[in-house]
Chains A and B, each alone.
Chain A
């Protein structure tokens, strides 16, 4: 090995000496040539290596051993796919060639080496680059910049990589100038700014790009444009935006182009964006115009409204500039116009002199406030009239005298008052409610309210009213008036997820408002925010009663569907008990005395559940004394009780002794019907069950007052008792009674007064004619009570005042019309309103209505007799809702 190195060094030294000697004649040992140093990627490459005979590396060899390499990889005959070599003797030396069928590298060095003394020496090489000819430049576009220095910026897409240096040149031709320009660009730059002298603003210029590399060239499509039409202007300026005197609905817009573009005095495209302060739209509708730089009027605007304006410009087909600055202006005010949608609710007793009225309103689609500071006036007469209220709210509560049938609502601003909207005042009427009200969440902030339409020609529409349940203020109540043919509506105003709302539907009739149906609803539910805390109410040895508070309304996040108590003993035996939602208490029974338990509550809504905190419970221990007492009492007391009972039953004497017979006025027949009718109503006040109604058709005094007859000289036609026709057909029960002309009848000062009534088991009007009715009669020695009609509450009026008239008639609850009353009583299980000998009879009516989502409203119908002397009538208790 060492000898080989020495030999090589010697030869190099010899060569150096020879070289020094013949410096001019020096030539390389070998020369490498290829067909091309830049080739198309993937194309074949052929290279040759000519090794001179006098090359010291091959001296003495019969045939030099030549090795070709592409970068570090050898190209041998064994691997023909990469390249093949061949060697032959040629004049003056040896020629070795290599053929690479596909040159796949973008750049590679091909070297020729000679194997000498087991060492490979490179004698020559060639650098080969491969790539592709340039693609046609695409996407040539130019944009004129009119800001100094003015330029015409042209750019084009980069295109695919050619792997070779590619030079672009931009060519322009201006025919009006007969001038051509070529701008050479540095390699791989794809844009160029043509200077101002290189283009004429209002003359067409033809532009194209040429791409050139070692493998070829390509020219883009020619672009013909007028530089001014390709200019993107600077954002214009809004100078003024204000109303002119007496120009209603108009605002004058003064504007200009930017300082450097003010010279454009001809028409430009102007786009105006107007937006009101209340506009919800993000993208206001543009108003395109072609104008010069002069003030222009923008008209057909809303009165008294603040507008925000911004503009942008373009020239012919050029790009739009950026938007200008914003400027606001307010149009001149005018009196409001258009109708207001309203919803008027009357509450309070009709007998009261003043009605309580809640009036809500909202602007209709046609309403135009035409001003900023809007207030509303409610008046009894058209303004100017007596004002019930002046408010900026959209709600007003006031008291209205009986006999007022309409009120007027008008809007007012600084410029004037609108035409009043006439609102009829419908007194409360017993008209049917809608049925099957249902509320379905409709997105996160909307509710779909549905109901079944009322099939009646007197229906004019519906009112859907909704309010947040956690707000007691009436100003939060919203409403919508619905057409009679519609049976659903999507409400979204103020609706938020996880919050409760009450939705009511009222039918509107021609002559009044019907009963409402209400329902509570959430647009979206989730688990409650808090769980109730369990509290021990009562503890025993075998059970524990737990109670808990209701979750605050805003923390429920949904309708509570269940309370579930999980409890377990020390051994971990878990038991579960469900509690009724409305009770909020539960008894854990079957527990062991003196044992520890743990429990927690799980509260569930329609949107999820939440577990409460764990509580530890302990049952009481059994008391030995209590056990003994229980055993003794059950062992001794029970037999003793049985013996006494048997003795009492067997012995009449004992029975008389203990229970002597005492006359019981309560067992009179009149008491029976009183008890069966009026008292029967009383439990309804305390009971939430559907009332079982008994229909009282008539109450008669069977013996008319003789004195009264005598005083009238026997003229019975003047006495209300004999005006049987006034009481409709029911009067027959009076006229037909044999006691009517009983001479023994002396009115209130007589000892005994007979009473009778007819009791039906169904509404009067629905009874078949042949049905026999219960006819009860009774007598009482007690004088009839009388009282003055006006002063019902004065106790003095009950005493010793002669009866002026006795009359029985029937009326509808809370209604003046006799006929309507009977009819409506039939429809609603309504019991009659009675007036009996000026004895007031109170009658209220409600209807049961159960909401679907768990909220219940009870409206129960019943009547109460009150202050009816001689009857044991119980004062009614208020309803529970």
Chain B
């Protein structure tokens, strides 16, 4: 049991905010989507993920009061791996370069699932936090981004099955500190996952003919 727990911590360390940057996508192995609206969905998603990433620091600042919970502090965040496991915060789905074994559909599905996961985690902590105005706006942006990702999924003729993430987070938030740590860890993980989405979207845009750098 202890061995398994230790393994879980190691796995979490690799996922929660410290995932290695994705390789730059060449786009050669991607899939071309013929739907003329697809590139609009990609552009909209690029806008929205940028909006989410820009909103995270402000949201973190308004919700997290603990001075030890710093958004971009690698050292401090390493110390929270146990808490992450203990609180039952699932790791985000993996995003990587499009390849034969990682198709566009898979990529989009992972994006959708990841967004849904973070949406549910934030929903779990929201009732326990004060000053949730920014958090609500962030959740709305995540919702909007999810809609665009799901549209892309439909465009690649994949079935969208959105299921609420099964998480026991709400039940484990026994105290304010746990709430603060849970919100902090969720935002840190969302930031990392969002950066992966940016790379994935750039890859998808390249594959689909938009050579103009979005400037992200």
User: Which of B47-55, B78-86, B110-118, B166-174 forms contacts with chain A?
Assistant: B47-55
Partner of B214, one of A176, A201, A202, A266: A266
Q: In the complex, which of the residues A149, A196, A264 contacts B47, with contact meaning CB atoms closer than 8 Å?
A: A264
CB distance from A80 to the nearest CB of B (A): 66
CA distance A118 to B137 in the complex (A): 75
Decide: B216 and A265 in contact? CB cutoff 8 A: yes
Let me know if A263 and B47 touch, CB within 8 A. yes
Cβ contact within 8 Å between B147 and A292: no
Nearest Cβ in chain B — how far from A83, in angstroms?
60
Whether B147 contacts A196 by the Cβ 8 Å rule is no
A348 to B147, CA, bound (A): 90
Q: Are B214 and A203 in contact (CB under 8 A)?
A: no
CB neighbours (8 Å) of B50 from chain A are 262-265
Chain B nearest CB from A199 CB (Å) reads 9
Q: Mark A285-302, 1 if CB is under 8 A from B, else 0.
A: 000000011100000000
Q: Are A201 and B215 in contact (CB under 8 A)?
A: no
Query: Do A202 and B148 contact each other (CB < 8 Å), given the known contacts A265-B50, A292-B212, A293-B215?
Result: yes
User: Bound state CA distance, A176 and B37, in angstroms?
Assistant: 15
A583 within 8 A of B: no
Check: B15 CB closer than 8 A to any chain A CB.
no
Interchain CA distance A61-B136 in the complex, whole Å: 76
Contacts of A148 in B (CB 8 A): 137
B47 touches A203 (CB 8 A): no
Complex alpha-carbon distance, A149 and B141, angstroms = 13
Q: Are B143 and A200 in contact, with the CB atoms below 8 A? A: yes
Write out the residue numbers on chain B whose beta carbons fall within 8 Å of the beta carbon of A202: 44, 47-48, 144, 147-148
B54 touches A263 (CB 8 A): yes
Nearest neighbor of B212 in chain A, beta-carbon distance: A292
Interface residues of B in 119-152 (CB under 8 A from A): 133, 136-137, 140-141, 143-144, 147-148, 151
User: Do the beta carbons of B136 and A201 come within 8 Å of each other?
Assistant: no
* Per-residue A-contact encoding for B8-32, CB less than 8 Å = 1, 0 else: 0000000000000000000000000
In the complex, are the beta carbons of A292 and B215 less than 8 A apart?
yes
A197 close to B136 (CB less than 8 A): yes
The reply to whether the CB of A150 lies closer than 8 angstroms to some CB of chain B is: yes
- Encode contact with A along B68-102: 1 for CB under 8 Å, 0 otherwise: 00000000000000000000000000000000000
Shortest CB distance B200–A (Å): 15
- Complex-state Cα separation, A266 to B41, whole angstroms: 11
On chain A, the residues within 8 Å of B46 by CB distance are: 265-266
User: Cβ of B43 < 8 Å from any Cβ of A?
Assistant: yes
Contacts of A197 in B (CB 8 A): 136, 140
**Is the CB–CB distance between B51 and A263 below 8 Å?**
yes
Which A residues are CB-close (under 8 A) to B44? Answer: 201-202, 228, 266
| Binary contact readout B189-216 vs A (1 if CB under 8 angstroms, 0 otherwise) | 0000000000000000000000010111
Residues of B within 8 A of A294 (CB): 215
* Contact assessment for B137 and A200 in the assembled complex, using a CB-CB cutoff below 8 Å: no
Shortest CB–CB separation between residue A254 and chain B, in angstroms?
13
Query: Is B140 within 8 A of A176, CB to CB?
Result: no
Report the separation of the CA atoms of residues A192 and B119 in the bound assembly, to the nearest whole angstrom.
Answer: 28
A148 to B151 alpha-carbon distance, docked (Å): 27
Which one, A150, A176, A262, A266, contacts B147 given CB within 8 A? A176
A551 to B140, CA, bound (A): 82
Contacts of B140 in A (CB 8 A): 196-197
| Chain B CB within 8 A of A644 CB | no
Q: Are A203 and B147 in contact, with the CB atoms below 8 A?
A: yes
Interface residues contributed by chain B, number (CB under 8 Å): 22
Cβ of A774: which chain B residues have Cβ within 8 Å of it?
none
CA distance A265 to B51 in the complex (A): 9
Query: At the interface, is chain A mostly helix, strand, loop or mixed?
Result: loop
CB of A630 within 8 Å of the partner chain = no
Kindly provide the distance from the CB of B124 to the nearest chain A CB, expressed in whole angstroms: 17
- Smallest CB separation, B164 vs chain A (Å): 15
Q: What residues of chain B lie closer than 8 Å to A177, measured between beta carbons? A: 143, 147
How many angstroms from the CA of A150 to the CA of B55 in the assembled complex? 13
Kindly report which residue of chain B lies nearest to residue A202, judged by CB atoms. B44
Give Cα A419 to B151, complex, Å. 64
Could you tell me which residues of chain A, from 236 to 274, have a CB within 8 Å of some CB in chain B? 262-267
Give Cα A196 to B141, complex, Å: 9
Q: Do A262 and B54 have beta carbons less than 8 Å apart?
A: yes
B137 engages A149 (CB within 8 Å): yes
Complex formed: what's the CA distance from A200 to B144 in Å?
6
Contact A149/B214 with A202-B148, A266-B47 known, Cβ cut-off 8 Å:
no
Contact with B along A169-205 (1 / 0, CB 8 A): 0000000110000000000000000001100111100
> Least Cβ distance of B180 to chain A in Å?
23
Assembled-state Cα–Cα distance A372/B140 (Å): 55
Most buried by B among A150, A202, A203, A262: A202
| Complex Cα–Cα for A200 and B48 (A) | 11
Contact yes or no, A266 B54, CB < 8 A: no
Q: Is the CB of A292 within 8 A of B54?
A: no
Query: A149 to B133, Cβ gap below 8 A?
Result: yes
Q: Nearest Cβ distance between residue A614 and chain B, in whole angstroms?
A: 84
Closest CB-CB distance, B183 to chain A, in whole Å?
19
User: Is the pair B143, A266 in contact by a Cβ cutoff of 8 Å?
Assistant: no
Q: How far is the CB of A226 from chain B (nearest CB, A)?
A: 9
Residues of the B chain whose Cβ atoms lie less than 8 Å from the Cβ of A292: 212, 214-215
CB-contact partner of A200 in B51, B147, B216, under 8 A: B147
With both chains docked as a complex, state the minimum distance between the C-beta of B208 and any C-beta of chain A, in angstroms. Answer: 14
In the assembled complex, the Cα of A292 lies from the Cα of B43 at a distance in Å of 12
Give Cα A203–Cα B45 distance, bound, in whole angstroms. 12
**Contact check: which of A149, A150, A200, A266 meets B43 at CB < 8 Å?**
A266
A780 CA to B144 CA, complexed, in Å: 124
Q: Which residues of chain B are near A201, meaning CB under 8 Å?
A: 44, 48, 141, 144
**In the bound complex, CA of A266 to CA of B46 (Å):** 8
Contact check: which of B133, B137, B215 meets A265 at CB < 8 Å? B215
CA distance A196 to B137 in the complex (A): 7
Contact: B54 with A265, CB < 8 Å? no
Question: Are the C-beta atoms of A176 and B215 separated by less than 8 Å?
Answer: no
B151 touches A176 (CB 8 A): yes
Chain A CB within 10 Å, residue with most, of B47, B141, B151: B47
Q: How far is the CA of A228 from the CA of B51 in the complex (A)?
A: 13
CA separation between A262 and B136, bound complex, in Å?
20
Q: Closest B residue to A266 by CB, please name it.
A: B43
Cβ–Cβ < 8 Å partners of B212 in chain A: 292
- B136: chain A residues at CB < 8 Å are 196-197
Q: Mark A346-385, 1 if CB is under 8 A from B, else 0.
A: 0000000000000000000000000000000000000000
Which residues in window 277-330 of A have CB below 8 A to B?
Answer: 292-294
Q: Which residues of A contact B147 (CB under 8 A)?
A: 176-177, 200, 202-203
A849–B201 Cα gap in the complex (Å)? Answer: 86
List chain B residues, Cβ under 8 A from A203.
144, 147
Q: How far apart sit A294 and B214, CA to CA, in the bound complex (Å)?
A: 9
Nearest CB of A to B190, in Å: 15
Q: Which of B50, B133, B140, B141 has the most CB of A within 10 A?
A: B140
Whole-angstrom distance between the Cβ of B4 and the nearest chain A Cβ: 40
Give, as a whole number of angstroms, the nearest-CB distance from A432 to chain B.
70
CB nearest neighbor in A for B54:
A263
Q: Bound complex: CA of A35 vs CA of B7, how far in Å?
A: 82
Chain B residue nearest to A293 (CB atoms) is B215
B156 to chain A, nearest CB (A): 17
Question: How far apart are B12's CB and chain A's nearest CB, in angstroms?
Answer: 30
Interface positions of A from 592 to 642, Cβ below 8 Å from B: none
Q: Is the CB of B144 within 8 A of A265?
A: no
Q: How far is the CA of A262 from the CA of B58 in the complex (A)?
A: 15
With contacts A202-B44, A292-B212 known, is A150 near B137, CB below 8 A? yes
Known contacts A262-B54, A265-B47, A265-B214; 5 additional CB pairs below 8 A are A150-B137, A200-B143, A203-B144, A203-B147, A267-B43
Binding site for A on B (CB under 8 A): 43-44, 46-48, 50-51, 54, 133, 136-137, 140-141, 143-144, 147-148, 151, 212, 214-216
- The 3 A-B residue pairs with the shortest CB-CB distance, nearest first, are A263-B51, A202-B44, A266-B43
Can you list 12 A-B contacts with CB-CB less than 8 angstroms, sorted by A residue number? A177-B147, A196-B136, A201-B141, A202-B148, A203-B147, A228-B44, A263-B50, A263-B51, A265-B47, A265-B215, A266-B44, A293-B215
